[in-house]
Structure 1
């Protein structure tokens, strides 16, 4: 019972983060599952099973509100599904303890990527509702992007949003609302393909359904709270917190998986917390300057 409560809390936190940022549900939940000693394949399978329901709901919502660019979805959904399926087969065919350190390294790298990405993100980004710039996304670029993001999403337990969304937003004339909506909508097929791959490689008997239900239940409770939080907390600040959380949770697995001098571990954690403290301070200074600039322009 205690483990189910912990898993529900993990699902709650993951959905709280994902609902506020539009990414990092898989990264957050898988990082916590690995930290609690769950094997990488079982952790990723549980997360993707839960995501099948959450992404379906998210995709339908984006379609209803017109937040989907069908060109983006058609370009990334098939290669993303193939990559996720192959990644699940690859992860499920090798021993969990062998994969765990490498999965944590991958998640650590993605956490660092998220941290840097949101540190560089503009503090205030306004998009007028009537602006509908052309996307101009090339299928030749979308296909490899979808495949790589899908494969990493399965093997690392997350990465679809953190990889695809920043790359697509970096394109000229990309409309953020439709990029996020299209990525979220296509994630349903990616999560479903990854789940099928895990079921083939692990078998139905290896799936801990109570874990899936617990994670899903926590996510359902967190969804309306996340919708409220996103209105009051700057997204770039939340992104920095997410990247830092992923770094810290995966650092523990990495440090315990390799022969590292025990005297060095406190220094590593100290360096990490100094890095995160500096990132948070820098973010708050940028936010304060941006508010002063707006107040000055309003006079």
Structure 2
């Protein structure tokens, strides 16, 4: 066994596990957490970082979706309203990101990730929302899919948080959005691979896959039991702080 290789994977396994645990519990933040680290801390080009994370999410969202199906957390009507718009937005965002100079887009992607962190933080502070019927689901899926691919994360923060604020039952929102995300990531990953190739997507991707898949069942369980308010505040603060550090590093 190559122990040096295993040792190199361990940090990525831990990141994948933590990110998927949060994502399974909140219905958001796997892509944002991973992309913030890869772009803001490790300095990867935004397109490559987003491609790596979406390949990983093909595995984590499949595992998470099956877990949520087992726990009966999926709303079929909401699922089909989000499915096609989300995939269309994701393919468009991935195509756009692969055709823009990485040095130009990087500060904007990090700025977007920092705003997503602040958005999650504010939603946590003002949680819980007033119950309302979910509206504009298809446009929300289209926007969420586009920002998820082009910004390196955002499907959960955009779609899940808006549906939660509208008062839809939390466990069904989280389970449904996570399940749709599997099909979104397949479409986005195929678009990235078509433009970037598959060779550059290996390496750290394996560690993220191992950690993410291992955490998926725990995330589905946590969705029923962990209070959302403190988790939203904590995750939002960490994401905003980490992305801000990445912006400072990129511009200095």
TM-score bracket, shorter-length normalisation: 0.7 to 0.9
Counterpart pick for 1:248 among 227, 237, 241 = 241
> Shift in Å at residue 162 of structure 1?
1.1
**Does residue 155 in structure 1 map to residue 157 in structure 2?**
no
Residues 222, 65 of structure 1: CA spacing in aligned structure 2 closer, same or farther, 3 A cutoff? closer
Partner residue, 1:58? 64
> Shift in Å at residue 253 of structure 1?
1.9
- For these two proteins, the number of residue pairs brought into alignment is 246
Point out the more displaced range, 102-111 or 7-16: 7-16
Q: What do the CA deviations read for 1:140-165 (whole angstroms, capped 9, x no partner)?
A: x1221111000000112211111111
CA distance in 2, matches of 1:136, 1:20: 22
Partner residue, 1:80? 86
**Does residue 210 in structure 1 map to residue 215 in structure 2?**
no
Contact 1:33 1:43 in 2 (8 A): yes
Partner residue, 1:236? 229
> Shift in Å at residue 203 of structure 1?
1.7
Partner residue, 2:48? 42
> Shift in Å at residue 196 of structure 1?
0.9
Greater Rg over alpha carbons, structure: 1
CA distance in 1, matches of 2:212, 2:69: 21
Q: What do the CA deviations read for 1:240-287 (whole angstroms, capped 9, x no partner)?
A: 11111111111112113336xxxxxxxxxxxxxxxxxxxxxxxxxxxx
CA distance in 2, matches of 1:42, 1:216: 16
CA RMSD of aligned residues (A): 2.5
Q: What do the CA deviations read for 1:197-227 (whole angstroms, capped 9, x no partner)?
A: 11112122332x2222110112234446656
Residues 202, 252 of structure 1: CA spacing in aligned structure 2 closer, same or farther, 3 A cutoff? same
CA distance in 2, matches of 1:240, 1:247: 11
Local SS of the residue matching 1:41: helix
TM-score (normalised: structure 2): 0.88
Structure 1: which 5+ residue stretches go unaligned?
Answer: 126-132, 260-299
CA distance in 2, matches of 1:256, 1:177: 38
Residues 137, 20 of structure 1: CA spacing in aligned structure 2 closer, same or farther, 3 A cutoff? closer
Local SS of the residue matching 2:166: coil
Contact 1:111 1:246 in 2 (8 A): yes
CA distance in 1, matches of 2:65, 2:221: 19
Counterpart pick for 1:96 among 99, 102, 108 = 102
Point out the more displaced range, 19-28 or 182-191: 19-28
CA distance in 1, matches of 2:82, 2:221: 30
